[in-house]
Amino acid sequence: MTQSLLAELAAIVGPAAVLTGPEQTQAFYNDWRGVFAGNAMAVVRPQSTQEVARVVALAHATRTPIVPQGGNTGLAAGATPLGLDGAILLSLSRMHRIESVDPIGNTLTAQAGCVLTDVQAAADAANRLFPLSLGAEGSAQIGGLISTNAGGSGVLRYGTMRALVLGLEAVLPDGSVVDGLRALRKDNAGYDWKQLFIGAEGTLGIVTSAVLRLFPKPRFQTTALLGLASPSDALRAFSRLQDLLGDTLAACELFSDTTVSLRSAQQPSLARPMAAQPWYLLVEAAASLEGTRDAFEAALATLIDAGIANDCVVAESQRQSDELWEWRESIPETEKRAARSAKHDVSVPIVDVPRFIEEATLAVETAHRGTRVLAFGHVGDGNVHFNVLLPDGDAVRSDAVNATVHAIVTAYRGSITAEHGVGRYRRDELPAQRSPQEMALMRAVKRAIDPLGIMNPGSVLAMPPGAGSTSEYSPA
Ligand X SMILES: Cc1cc2nc3c(=O)[nH]c(=O)nc-3n(C[C@H](O)[C@H](O)[C@H](O)COP(=O)(O)OP(=O)(O)OC[C@H]3O[C@@H](n4cnc5c(N)ncnc54)[C@H](O)[C@@H]3O)c2cc1C
In whole angstroms, give the CA distance from residue 380 to residue 238.
7
Task: Rule CB under 6 A: choose which of 109, 158, 459, 468 binds ligand X.
Answer: 459
> Is 73 near ligand X (CB under 6 A)?
yes
- Residue 240: CB minimum distance to ligand X, A: 25
Task: Rule CB under 6 A: choose which of 12, 17, 53, 79 binds ligand X.
Answer: 79
- Residue 56: CB minimum distance to ligand X, A: 11
Number of H helices and E strands in the chain, helices first, is 16, 19
Provide the pairing of β-strand 311-314 with 206-213: unpaired
> Is 456 near ligand X (CB under 6 A)?
yes
Task: Rule CB under 6 A: choose which of 19, 75, 286, 303 binds ligand X.
Answer: 75
Which of 210, 247, 214, 211 lies closest to 127, judged by CA? 214
Instruction: Name the residue with the smallest CB distance to ligand X.
Output: 144
Query: What SS3 class is residue 305?
Result: helix
Binding pattern to ligand X, positions 39-68, x when CB under 6 A? Answer: ----------------------------xx
E strand spans, 55-185: 66-69, 88-91, 98-102, 107-111, 128-129, 165-171, 177-180
Binding pattern to ligand X, positions 314-333, x when CB under 6 A? Answer: ------------------x-
Nearer to ligand X, 134 or 260 (CB): 134
- Residue 346: CB minimum distance to ligand X, A: 13
- Residue 143: CB minimum distance to ligand X, A: 2
In whole angstroms, give the CA distance from residue 223 to residue 297.
10
Task: Rule CB under 6 A: choose which of 42, 207, 212, 408 binds ligand X.
Answer: 207
Stretch that binds ligand X, among 43-51, 73-81, 368-376, 468-476 (CB under 6 A): 73-81
Contact 147, 168 (CB under 8 A): no
In whole angstroms, give the CA distance from residue 371 to residue 182.
50
- Residue 419: CB minimum distance to ligand X, A: 3
Contacting residues for 191 by C-beta, under 8 A, at least 6 apart: none
- Residue 6: CB minimum distance to ligand X, A: 21
DSSP secondary structure of 39-69? --SEEE---SHHHHHHHHHHHHHHT--EEEE
Stretch that binds ligand X, among 133-141, 234-242, 274-282, 400-408 (CB under 6 A): 133-141
Task: Rule CB under 6 A: choose which of 41, 44, 140, 299 binds ligand X.
Answer: 140
In whole angstroms, give the CA distance from residue 374 to residue 386.
6
Q: How many residues bind ligand X (CB under 6 A)?
A: 37
Nearer to ligand X, 283 or 300 (CB): 283
- Residue 328: CB minimum distance to ligand X, A: 10
> Is 148 near ligand X (CB under 6 A)?
yes
End-to-end CA distance of the chain: 30
- Residue 332: CB minimum distance to ligand X, A: 4
- Residue 462: CB minimum distance to ligand X, A: 15
Q: Rounded to 5 degrees, what are φ and ψ at 405?
A: -70, -45
Q: How many other C-beta atoms lie within 10 A of the C-beta of residue 269?
A: 5
> Is 404 near ligand X (CB under 6 A)?
no
In whole angstroms, give the CA distance from residue 173 to residue 170.
10
- Residue 171: CB minimum distance to ligand X, A: 8
Nearer to ligand X, 255 or 296 (CB): 255
Contacting residues for 260 by C-beta, under 8 A, at least 6 apart: 272, 273, 276, 280, 327
> Is 168 near ligand X (CB under 6 A)?
no
Contact 83, 198 (CB under 8 A): no
> Is 112 near ligand X (CB under 6 A)?
yes
Contacting residues for 39 by C-beta, under 8 A, at least 6 apart: 29, 81, 84, 85
> Is 120 near ligand X (CB under 6 A)?
no
Contacting residues for 20 by C-beta, under 8 A, at least 6 apart: 6, 41, 42, 43
Nearer to ligand X, 227 or 457 (CB): 457
> Is 256 near ligand X (CB under 6 A)?
no
> Is 201 near ligand X (CB under 6 A)?
yes
Nearer to ligand X, 86 or 391 (CB): 86
- Residue 52: CB minimum distance to ligand X, A: 9
Interhelix angle 353-367/231-245, rounded to 10 degrees, is 160
Which DSSP state fits 75? S
> Is 154 near ligand X (CB under 6 A)?
no
Radius of gyration of the chain (CA): 23
Q: Give the interface with ligand X as residue ranges (CB under 6 A).
A: 32, 67-75, 78-79, 92, 112, 134-136, 140-141, 143-145, 147-148, 150-152, 201-202, 206-207, 332, 419-420, 423, 456, 459
